[in-house]
A and B are shown apart, each in its own frame.
Chain A
Amino acid sequence: MKYVDEFRDPETIEAAAREIRRLADPSRHYRIMEVCGGHTHAIYRFGLQDLLPENLELIHGPGCPVCVLPMGRIDDGLELARQPGMIFAAFGDMMRVPGTRGTPLEHQARGMDVRIVYSPADALEIARKNPDKHVLFFAIGFETTAPSTALTLKRARAENVPNFSVFCNHVTIIPAIRAILDSPDMRLDAFIGPGHVSTVIGCRPYEWIAENEGKPIAVSGFEPADILQSIVMLLGQLERGESKVENQYRRVVPREGNRAALQVMAEVFELRPYFEWRGLGFISQSALRIRGEYARWDAEKRFDVPGVRVTDPRAAQCGEVLKGVLRPAQCKLFGKECTPEQPVGALMVSAEGSCAAYYNYEHRKRAARNLVSLR
């Protein structure tokens, strides 16, 4: 398959893995955080940890949009959708995320009109086709998906679609990285930077990480060869004592980002003063809300949002896992009370959540590691 197979070529990958083993200093321990959930998923799916030296640890970061969404926001969205005549539309990613009274799919089983959409524009189309219903689009995601929500809001306004609104939960990546770096129990050597987010924001917003915090960062693609090459770049910087932003994903990510996407986001959204992140708490200026000109299509202005706040079960250690202080299997609930089928914490919900990825792809393998003969 074109544009994929080149980056999964066993020889390229083996060469990169050899280079990593050559560069890694056996006398030190490396902790590299991949910020993005897409990378976490790829690392497990392709079994990349098996190719890395023992003293190189990959820490799974906060870049999984459904994982960092507080349960109260899900409750709020589903509560709005419980009103008669409502259609709840969201990406497939959201469908198994539990609120206090169940997931969107469970609400569907009880009669709520829940639709899986592939883009916000599809939700607007559902509104056009169902003029007697109101479509609530539950928007999630980082800068990757925010531009398409912004474009959809512009279109809804231009066409004056009366029966459509957006419950906005878009968040921004940089404040989350800052929160993690500010956390006192955090010791990281370098970052694998998000790929898709960077197609929108470019590489410049990461420069402070390199310059002020002295941490190397490599913006990375999602194929096995991409991720390993990024690790080669980071080990090279560490060896040379450098810290800069490198762009491994040059075939997709322009250094300056996507100006048109940034422009439309700025037109439609503004920063919230603060927003709650699951596991990380309140982070100032870390999320987007819809500007006043679009109030008619802003579910938070159009409806009475209950403003539910739910604290995670105390035994769940999502925050520590999210910050990389604990590994998924070190959480007390992991694999017992909390599984992908019956998730307690959000990291178990999405395939990109570090706990779900670890559970699905890795932990039973580890249990059997000593006995498995890998050919």
Chain B
Amino acid sequence: MSGTAAETPPAVRFREARIEMAHGAGGKATRRLVEGLFVPLLSDASAPPLGDAASLELDGARLAVTTDGFVVTPLRFAGGSIGELAIHGTVNDLAVAGARPEVIVAGWVLEAGLETEVLEAEVRAMGRAARQAGVRVVGGDTKVVDHGKADRMYVTTTGIGRFLPGLETDPHSVRPGDRIILSGPIGDHGITILLARGELDLEADLRSDTRSVFPMVEALAQAAGPAVRWMRDPTRGGLATALNELARDCRQGIQLQEQEIPVRDAVRGSCELLGLDPLHIANEGQFVAVVAASGAAAALEAIRGVPGGEEARLIGEVCPEPAGSVLVTTPYGGSRIVDMLVGDPLPRIC
């Protein structure tokens, strides 16, 4: 290749010497890595802002494409397993991009010594989840690494979906006065995993919320499509991180009413004990949508009408201030800024 003006070396802004766990936790460090290293080296300048899925046009058809890796420990937990997560994670990224999930290809990295029984159970779980979500698994790849070089099994899935008609989401379309709708209680997945690791001697009647959110998104699109401005599934980093990213992208403030945000008692209790904020805990079966005020009632009703969407709530609204931040108002009129997650959530003891 010959050097042209367009080929000036891309500016890698990521300056940290090593990759740490925090870079994968979905919060600020992840954003620094993605925006400072991956985007400058891999993405072309005309690409739209980072969303859950890329949009591309092939022969006139507009398709959504997304990919995700799954490295959960333990592999199985109350309410789900890595196989289901691998399907639901990708299905949900497509759904919140406004697309109907159509096909998935999967890659497995297996540690030598993994019991076939375990693998079979997870592949079955993937098949079951895919059928339920109405998506076909059309290809895959398998690699095996030495014993001790991986933690039993990792899965990556790449999904392709077709955009739903009449639904255009873009953070820049978000305006003051828009309403924020959450599909159900937060924190179930993250706390379930934390407890399933068994390091805490805590037990709670709690299950991961892993599921496809597409039926709820579809109902929302039918009932209030043109009013929907933005959607996201608040996975790693939790609701706080998802909404902080929105606040940053749309340069508006997000004001939430704390008492409107549904959190199950078991999640609240665990968070109280461990010094964690439910707003930072991961979810795998919820989504948050910004809807124009005029469409909010219809949107809420539509989501609540879908089995599993009964607990959807209006949790706040978009305001001019504090621009770029998320402000939570407590039930007694105090308020606090809620930032993105910094690193992994760590329990506080002393």
Q: Which residues of A contact B (CB under 8 A)?
A: 1, 4, 8, 10, 13-14, 17, 41, 44-51, 65-66, 91-93, 95-96, 105-106, 108-110, 116-119, 122, 140-142, 144-145, 224, 340-341, 350-352, 360-365, 367-368, 371-375
Indicate the member of B200, B321, B332 with the most A CB atoms within 10 Å. Answer: B332
Residue contact B20 to A105, C-beta cutoff 8 Å: yes
Residue of B nearest to A96 (CB): B343
Q: Which residues of B contact A51 (CB under 8 A)?
A: 332-334
Contact of B336 among A13, A92, A119, A361 (CB under 8 A): A361
Q: Which residues of A contact B20 (CB under 8 A)?
A: 105-106, 108-109
Min Cβ gap A77→B in Å is: 15
Q: Which residues of A contact B321 (CB under 8 A)?
A: 368, 371-372
Residue contact B265 to A1, C-beta cutoff 8 Å: yes
Residue of B nearest to A49 (CB): B334
Min Cβ gap A276→B in Å is: 18
Residue contact B327 to A4, C-beta cutoff 8 Å: no
Residue of A nearest to B200 (CB): A118
**Interface pairs (20), CB distance under 8 Å:** A8-B331, A13-B332, A45-B336, A46-B332, A47-B334, A47-B336, A65-B350, A66-B350, A95-B346, A105-B22, A105-B343, A116-B199, A118-B200, A224-B334, A341-B28, A351-B275, A360-B339, A368-B253, A371-B320, A374-B329
Asked if B61 is at the interface (CB within 8 A of a chain A CB), the reply is: no
Asked if B269 is at the interface (CB within 8 A of a chain A CB), the reply is: yes
Q: Which residues of A contact B268 (CB under 8 A)?
A: 1, 4
**How many angstroms between the C-alpha atoms of A4 and B331 in the bound complex?**
14
Q: Provided the pairs A4-B272, A118-B200 are in contact, do residues A374 and B346 lie with their beta carbons within 8 angstroms?
A: no
A-B Cβ contacts below 8 A, count: 137
Residue contact B329 to A365, C-beta cutoff 8 Å: no
**How many angstroms between the C-alpha atoms of A105 and B24 in the bound complex?**
13
Q: Which residues of B contact A105 (CB under 8 A)?
A: 20-22, 343
Residue of A nearest to B201 (CB): A118
Residue contact A365 to B346, C-beta cutoff 8 Å: no
Min Cβ gap A138→B in Å is: 11
Interface residues of B in 316-332 (CB under 8 A from A): 319-323, 325, 327, 329-332
**How many angstroms between the C-alpha atoms of A41 and B331 in the bound complex?**
17
Q: Which residues of B contact A368 (CB under 8 A)?
A: 253, 321-323, 325
Q: Which residues of B contact A350 (CB under 8 A)?
A: 348
Q: Provided the pairs A13-B332, A105-B22, A109-B21 are in contact, do residues A364 and B322 lie with their beta carbons within 8 angstroms?
A: yes
Asked if B139 is at the interface (CB within 8 A of a chain A CB), the reply is: no
Residue contact B349 to A145, C-beta cutoff 8 Å: yes
Asked if B56 is at the interface (CB within 8 A of a chain A CB), the reply is: no
